[in-house]
Amino acid sequence: MTKILKYVGNSVGITMEWALVLFVVVAFAIRTSPFQTFIAKQLASYLSSELNTTITIDKVDIVFFDRASIEGFTLMDQQNDTLACTPELMVTIEDFDIDENSFQLSEIKLKKGTVKIRKNKEGIMNYQFLVDYFSTDEPSSSPPLKLSISSLNLESIIFEYDDLSAKPIDFGLDFNHLRFNKLSVVLSDFDLTDERISLQVDKLVSQEKSGFKLNEFTSHVQIGPKGISLEKLFISLPESKLFSPYFRLSYNDWSSFDYFEDSVSFDAKFDASEVSFRDVSFWVPSLEGMNEKLKFKGDISDCVSKLKLNNLDVRLQKNTYLRGDFVLPDFRTEDLSSFKANVSSAFVDFYELDKIQLPKGNTKFNFNEIKDKIGFLDLKHVSCEGSTKRILLQANHVNTANGKIALNDQIEILSSGKSYKISSNNEMSLDLTAINLGKLAGDNNLGNLDGNLTFSETEIYEDGSFTIQNFKGNIPNLQLQGYTYRNIRIDAPIINEKEFIGKVEILDPNLKLVLNGDAHYKGKQHYNFQLDITHADMSKLGFVSDDSISLATKLDVDVSGRDFENLSGSISSSMSRVTQGLTNLELPKFELKIKRDRGTDDFNFNSDIATASIKGKIDYESVASQFVEDISLVFPSLALSNKKAKRNKASDVEFDIKLGNAESIFDLFIPELTINNGTKLSGSYHSKTKDIKLNLSSRLIAFDNILFDSVSLKQDISNAGISGFCKVKKFVYDSIEFDQLKFDNLGKNGLLESRLTWNLKGKDNSELAWTTMVIDQNDLRFTIKPCFFSVE
């Protein structure tokens, strides 16, 4: 028994000695890199078999359980494509507590790693097999993970994400097919406690295959169940730099992101920053081709559905900027409700906007017309709020290169879907200063306008029609055809696209005028108004060169019709007075009756001075060129143009004028001229037959010391030639007298036969005859025929 006990004791002792030796050997071996690598490779081989994939590790080096280095790590997915790999990973452990699930790491370094995430056409991720293997349905009894990392350094990492079910795009960041090259990250003070993450991003740079490049990203980041905060944010792109003292998102819980527009609130401030549309276009491919840079600063608050932009300052190029406070509408709503804008100041330079390069494939905006007419837009103290159905607008200062506009009261714009109604609690008042109407209307006859316009209500319809009620205009200055009219007042109860009903008054030093009535200018037109001119200095107004002629008149106008070519009515005057110097001329009443239609025009003028009748149809655009061309048929050398006159419309007209008591008119304007009462002038012009006729008969025509007694004239011009005569019973020139004077003419094709006789049947009978050849406008050749004459 003693031997047995001794034997057992020796065996146990030897075993213990070998166990101790083995423990010492293992303790030393486990601290060696080859042994650690062997264990890691065995584990990798086991997991490879379990996961039906390939996992390889080239080398593992663990020192004193606080530092681990892994080299040559590769994890393949089940399609034998790389899921993750790195040539070198080093982790330094500061402290850990397994029971508390707490880990403190001093440093993590990863160099030249690659991560490739794939989603197949069925929507399954290439790492799903790892999730399935390590997941469990049993609830975990471990305390929440606590992790802190003093320093994390990722250098030259490649990250890929590829969704095989999505088609790639040609330009910009394709979020279904991403590849970040040279991704380098330096983080410090990383802390994960109770679902809260805090870290300092000291460096984040990368470049994506699309060409997007992130030069620098730094910030102190906090992520928690109630919010995300980025403090001292700085982002640098090739052409953009963003500075934000803080950028925060707040929410109730993570489910708030499912209702992001209403449940996640912003609280951010941007200091002076600059963003390039070229950089933004990588995120918004529709902006490809734009290269403009935008400078901005301001504050952002509230959720997206009612986002507030306060202290906003946006600048474009050199002059264009916008400053103010804004509340953006909920863009999901049809009426874009709750929009609000308070523009403290803004300046829009249309010459700068004209230089903006639009996205690729878009036609460049043409600002040529608005540049010439407006030039720039300078706004101050402009407010706007409401929705697409109701807008409140106030604009105290709107200045342009062609004038200034000020809206003195807040106006309300209501939309019914078919019209916009504009109104105000008080009368809407619009101040106009130095508005250059000539540039706005493209008419050099117009100049600057100053004034104040008020109205109670305006409605504008979707078809372009409108109605303005109780319109009043007080215009101190209006430049028209080189003259500045002063003190113009307009009072119109109704103005719309069809009619004007009201009164216009001008109290200018050189023009006193009142126009009162209505004008219907759409559909069947009707103009019915009274014009009372008590004083019009015609020379100072620029109508005549004589500096002493003034006019006063009262006119009644009543004409109607579909258009200018089809109208009828009358224009009459109850009083007219012309003053020249100290001479006053009271003109008798007159009436002009008008009747125009497609077939004929009929004008009849009646007064004590003269009566006149014009009947026919005149093509006012071509009648002059037609008349000259018809004259040149007789004298071809006088043709003024090689182009044939347009004869789309015929000009066929007859006229008949009978002079009444016009002596007072001649005394005022042409005192040397005398034309006897009853003088008749008639004629016709027919462009189709190219026939021109002129007839004149007068008992007496005199000018200065020249006198024609009993004049009778008839002249015909047609394509057959020219013929006519003029008879004068007595012709007196100073002390020379001719009785029974007669002039005859006949000709064609540039050759004119002329004959002048007087007292042909008396003892002093005389005759002159000659031929005129018209070579051109400057060359006339005369041939004198045998003549005889006697002078007593």
Which is higher by pLDDT, 277 or 629?
A: 277
Encode pLDDT of 586-597 as tens digits. Answer: 888 899 999 988
Q: Quick one: pLDDT at residue 29?
A: 47
Encode pLDDT of 327-348 as tens digits. Answer: 888 877 776 777 888 999 999 9
Q: How far apart are CA 790 and CA 769, in angstroms?
A: 15
Q: Quick one: pLDDT at residue 31?
A: 53
- CB contact burial 137-153 (16+ within 10 A = b; e otherwise): eeeeeeeeebebbbbbb
Q: Quick one: pLDDT at residue 738?
A: 85
- With beta carbons less than 8 A apart as the criterion, state whether 375 and 352 touch: no
Encode pLDDT of 373-393 as tens digits. Answer: 888 889 999 888 888 788 888
- With beta carbons less than 8 A apart as the criterion, state whether 345 and 362 touch: no
Q: How far apart are CA 644 and CA 630, in angstroms?
A: 11
Could you say which DSSP state residue 20 is in? H
- What Rg value do the Cα atoms of the chain yield, rounded? 50
Q: Nearest Cα to 591, choosing from 610, 577, 578?
A: 610
Q: Quick one: pLDDT at residue 426?
A: 78
Encode pLDDT of 142-200 as tens digits. Answer: 777 788 888 889 888 899 899 988 898 888 888 899 999 889 999 999 898 888 899 99
Q: What is the pTM of this model?
A: 0.70
Mean predicted confidence (pLDDT) in 549-564:
89
Q: Quick one: pLDDT at residue 27?
A: 47
Q: Is 24 helix (H, G, I), strand (E, B) or coil?
A: helix
Pairing of strands 196-208, 320-327: unpaired
- 488 has pLDDT over 90: yes
Task: Report residue 604's pLDDT band, with 50, 70 and 90 as the boundaries.
Answer: very high
Which is higher by pLDDT, 102 or 684?
A: 684
Q: Identify the helix (H) or strand (E) that includes residue 133.
A: helix 128-134
- 24 has pLDDT over 50: no
Task: Report residue 246's pLDDT band, with 50, 70 and 90 as the boundaries.
Answer: very high
Q: How far apart are CA 628 and CA 750, in angstroms?
A: 14
Q: How far apart are CA 205 and CA 187, in angstroms?
A: 12
CA distances from 767 to 438, 533, 703, 762 (A): 62, 56, 25, 12
Q: What angle do CA 429, 485, 487 make, to 5 degrees?
A: 45
Mean predicted confidence (pLDDT) in 465-486:
89
**Cβ neighbours of residue 643 under 8 Å, at least 6 residues apart?**
none
Q: CA 470, 475, 479, 485 torsion: positive or negative? A: positive
Q: Quick one: pLDDT at residue 568?
A: 92
Mean predicted confidence (pLDDT) in 193-209:
90
Encode pLDDT of 694-705 as tens digits. Answer: 999 999 999 988
Which is higher by pLDDT, 16 or 257?
A: 257
Q: CA 769, 774, 779, 781 torsion: positive or negative? A: negative
Q: Quick one: pLDDT at residue 172?
A: 86
Strand partners, 162: 118, 177
Q: What is the dihedral of CA 560, 561, 563, 564, to 10 degrees?
A: -60
- With beta carbons less than 8 A apart as the criterion, state whether 352 and 365 touch: no
Strand partners, 454: 429, 472
Helical residues (DSSP H) of 478-577, grouped into ranges:
none
- With beta carbons less than 8 A apart as the criterion, state whether 76 and 46 touch: no
Task: Report residue 570's pLDDT band, with 50, 70 and 90 as the boundaries.
Answer: very high
Q: How far apart are CA 715 and CA 695, in angstroms?
A: 7
Strand partners, 298: 270
Q: How far apart are CA 747 and CA 767, in angstroms?
A: 19
Q: Is 263 helix (H, G, I), strand (E, B) or coil?
A: helix
Q: Quick one: pLDDT at residue 239?
A: 93
Q: What is the dihedral of CA 577, 578, 584, 585, to 10 degrees?
A: -70
Encode pLDDT of 500-556 as tens digits. Answer: 899 999 999 999 999 999 988 887 889 999 999 999 998 888 888 766 788 899 999
Q: Quick one: pLDDT at residue 647?
A: 58
Total length of the chain: 792
- 768 has pLDDT over 60: yes
Mean predicted confidence (pLDDT) in 470-490:
91
- 628 has pLDDT over 70: no
Could you say which DSSP state residue 255 is in? G
Compute the mean pLDDT over every residue in the chain, rounded to the nearest whole number: 84
- 751 has pLDDT over 70: yes
**Cβ neighbours of residue 577 under 8 Å, at least 6 residues apart?**
551, 552, 553, 584, 585, 586, 587
**Cβ neighbours of residue 43 under 8 Å, at least 6 residues apart?**
none
- With beta carbons less than 8 A apart as the criterion, state whether 510 and 503 touch: no
Q: Quick one: pLDDT at residue 623?
A: 65
Encode pLDDT of 753-763 as tens digits. Answer: 899 888 877 77
Q: Quick one: pLDDT at residue 489?
A: 95
Percent of all residues in the chain with a pLDDT value above 90, rounded to a whole number: 28
Q: How far apart are CA 619 and CA 90, in angstroms?
A: 98
- With beta carbons less than 8 A apart as the criterion, state whether 294 and 314 touch: yes
**Which of left, alpha, beta for 542 (phi over 0: left; psi -120 to 50: alpha)?**
left
Mean predicted confidence (pLDDT) in 466-484:
89
User: For the ranges 88-97, 643-652, 730-739, which has the lowest average pLDDT?
Assistant: 643-652
Could you say which DSSP state residue 32 is in? S
Q: Nearest Cα to 287, choosing from 237, 354, 360, 214?
A: 360
Mean predicted confidence (pLDDT) in 755-781:
81
39's tokens: 């264990």
Q: Identify the helix (H) or strand (E) that includes residue 406.
A: strand 403-407
Q: How far apart are CA 590 and CA 737, in angstroms?
A: 39
Counting Cβ atoms within 10 Å, is residue 42 exposed (0-12), middle (13-18) or buried (19+)?
exposed
Counting Cβ atoms within 10 Å, is residue 237 exposed (0-12), middle (13-18) or buried (19+)?
buried
Q: Identify the helix (H) or strand (E) that includes residue 130.
A: helix 128-134
Q: Quick one: pLDDT at residue 13?
A: 52
Q: How far apart are CA 560 and CA 567, in angstroms?
A: 5
